[in-house]
């Protein structure tokens, strides 16, 4: 089984990463996994040059360019853990840029003759771990977890998509350790 940890925690001593590492210990134990540290990678948003390269590759069905490396790695994973803080009710820009590359037609999904998305991914589970300094208002998750959930359901057809999070960590009097533990306990694997 191939396990992939997409680590988009940008800060040293990240609370999100602490939950993610505890989740790994519980869910994967001593099993091996690949880790991508998104903040340290040279990932850039698609621009006019890279989108032309992307469109040409899709038209020719050749995915040899390094542009498709993260999509190939994602498609080959059986179990995916993604960890990122909620920043301004969204995900860090670098994670968005990564997901833009992962959504590669012909690598992680394709389009059928009837215009539906067909998954080319092996993942059976994607877990998104996150923390927020303030409260996450109802309905706002569409900009962070909701975005990842939509991609997982629409493009990759991942059967189990779960959200593990702790919020209001920066509020006066917050028991941060208790909130982190509660988030992990609520989704014990």
Convert 59-86 to b/e letters by CB count within 10 Å (16 or more is b): eeeebeeebbebbebbbbbebbbbbbbb
pLDDT at position 165 over 70: yes
Q: What's the whole-number average pLDDT of the chain?
A: 92
pLDDT at residue 135, as a whole number: 84
Buried b (16+ CB within 10 A) or exposed e, 87-106: beeebbebbbbbbbbbbbbb
pLDDT at 182: 83
Indicate if the pLDDT at residue 142 is higher than 70.
Answer: no
Q: What is the pLDDT of residue 59?
A: 94
* Confidence (pTM): 0.92
Per-residue pLDDT band at 175 (split at 50, 70, 90): confident
pLDDT of residue 140 exceeding 70: no
Condensed to tens digits (0 to 9), the pLDDT of residues 70-88 reads 999 999 999 999 999 998 8
pLDDT at 126 over 90: yes
pLDDT for residue 188 is more than 60: no
Look at domain 3-186 and name its CATH class: alpha beta
Q: What is the mean pLDDT of residues 25-48?
A: 95
- Give the span between the Cα atoms of 108 and 155, in whole angstroms: 8
Task: Calculate mean pLDDT across residues 126-144.
Answer: 81
Query: Of 127 and 169, which is predicted with more confidence?
Result: 127
Reduced to 3 states (helix: H, G, I; strand: E, B; else coil), residue 162 is strand
Q: Is the pLDDT at 180 greater than 90, yes or no?
A: no
The yes-or-no verdict on residue 10 having pLDDT over 70 is yes
User: Which residue's structure tokens are 């067909």?
Assistant: 118
- How much helix, strand and coil, in percent to the nearest 5, is found in the chain? 40, 20, 40
**Tokens (6 digits) for 183:** 């988030």
């Amino acid at each position: 089984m191939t396990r992939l940890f997409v680590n988009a925690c940008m800060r040293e001593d990240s609370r999100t990463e602490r939950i993610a590492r505890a989740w790994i210990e519980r869910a994967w134990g001593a099993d091996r996994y690949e880790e991508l540290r998104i903040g340290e990678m040279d990932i850039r948003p698609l621009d006019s040059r890279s989108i032309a390269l992307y469109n040409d590759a899709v038209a020719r069905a050749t995915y040899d360019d390094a542009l498709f490396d993260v999509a190939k790695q994602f498609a080959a994973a059986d179990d995916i853990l993604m960890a990122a803080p909620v920043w301004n009710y969204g995900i860090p820009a670098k994670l968005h840029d990564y997901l833009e590359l992962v959504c590669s037609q012909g690598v992680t999904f394709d389009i059928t003759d009837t215009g539906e998305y067909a998954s080319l991914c092996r993942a059976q589970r994607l877990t998104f771990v996150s923390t927020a300094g303030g409260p996450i208002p109802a309905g706002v998750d569409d900009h962070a977890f909701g975005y990842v959930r939509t991609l997982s359901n629409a493009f990759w057809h991942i059967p189990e998509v779960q959200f593990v999070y702790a919020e209001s960590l920066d509020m006066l009097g917050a028991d941060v350790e208790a909130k982190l533990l509660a988030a992990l306990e609520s989704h014990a694997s």
